[in-house]
Amino acid sequence: MTPQEMKNRTKKFAVRVIKMTETLPEKRAANIIANQLIRSSTSVGANYRSALRARSQADFISKIAITTEEADESEYWMELLVDCEIMKPEHMTDLLKEANELVAILTATSITTKSHSQRYPKKS
* pLDDT given at position 29: 97
pLDDT range class, residue 33, cuts 50, 70, 90: very high
Fold of 3-118: de novo design (two linked rop proteins) (1.20.1440)
Written as one string, the DSSP assignment of 59-112 is: HHHHHHHHHHHHHHHHHHHHHHHHHTTSS-HHHHHHHHHHHHHHHHHHHHHHHH
pLDDT tens, position by position, 41-94: 999 999 999 999 999 999 999 999 999 999 999 999 999 999 999 999 999 999
| Mean pLDDT over the full length of the chain | 94
CB atoms within 10 A of CB 13: 21
Reported pTM: 0.91
* pLDDT given at position 118: 66
**Residue boundaries of the structural domains of the chain:** 3-118
Kindly state the average pLDDT of the residues 26-38: 98
